[in-house]
Structure 1
């Protein structure tokens, strides 16, 4: 999917924030990942004729990363 890269970037930023003691930023990036996943699912659904992705699954995929994943 053409927008999935933004979720990867947000996951990397969150891992960096957690690994460097920036807990408030990490929480905000969690929220941003959920918003991004929901909007991407909506856009993808519109492009696919109404067959939207499951934003909850996408959010869990990208919000579940630990600080050690990318730090």
Structure 2
């Protein structure tokens, strides 16, 4: 998917923030990742011929794994 790289960048930034004593920034980046994953899922679903995402695919966008892997 062409948009998922941004989630990798946000994850890297969050990891850096946590490792360097910036917990408020890390929390904000978590929120930002959720917003990004939601918008990416909507964009994909609205694309011509887009079938949309199921719950596991949406979870992968946000968490980098299927929902079952996070349980």
Question: TM-score, normalised to structure 1's length?
Answer: 0.76
Instruction: Name the residue aligned to 1:49.
Output: 49
Q: CA deviation at 1:49?
A: 2.8
* Superposed CA RMSD: 1.7
Structure 2: unaligned runs, 5 residues or longer: 66-71
Post-superposition CA distance 1:34-53 (Å, at most 9, x none) = 00001001101111534222
Higher RCO structure (Cα 8 Å, ≥6 apart): 1
**1:4 and 1:59 mapped to 2: Cα distance?**
9
Aligned residues: 62
